């Protein structure tokens, strides 16, 4: 027996609809979508900062001393 069978998901969605009502369901969905977008943006910003940080820090070329004769 599958944990997330289509009939189980339908029952869960109906219970959520009864609890929140049709008007609040749109608000909850919008808030959830915004939270997911913000999370993805924060993850991408962290990766970008890491890449930029590693590119900014460069080791200087070795200074070659003049030949001493």
pLDDT for the residue numbered 40: 92
Q: For the chain, first and last CA: distance in Å? A: 85
Identify the pLDDT of residue 34: 95
| Residues whose CB is less than 8 angstroms from the CB of residue 28 and which lie 6 or more positions away in sequence, other chains included | 20
Q: Per residue in 11-62, pLDDT tens?
A: 988 998 888 888 887 888 889 899 999 999 988 887 666 654 455 555 556 5
DSSP state letters, 15-37: HHHHHHHHHHHHHHHHHHHHHHH
Q: Taking the alpha carbons of 17, 22, 27, 32 in that order, is the dihedral positive or negative?
A: positive
**Per-residue pLDDT at 38:** 94
Q: For position 28, what pLDDT does the model report?
A: 82
Q: How many angstroms separate the CA atoms of 63 and 23, rounded?
A: 69
So what's the pLDDT on residue 5?
85
pTM: 0.45
């Amino acid at each position: 027996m599958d944990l997330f069978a289509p009939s189980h998901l339908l029952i869960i969605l109906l219970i959520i609809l009864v609890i929140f009502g049709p008007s609040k369901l749109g608000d909850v969905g919008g808030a959830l979508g915004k939270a997911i977008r913000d999370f993805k943006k924060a993850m991408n910003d962290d990766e970008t900062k890491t890449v930029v940080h590693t590119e900014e820090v460069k080791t200087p070329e070795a200074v070659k001393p003049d030949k001493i004769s």
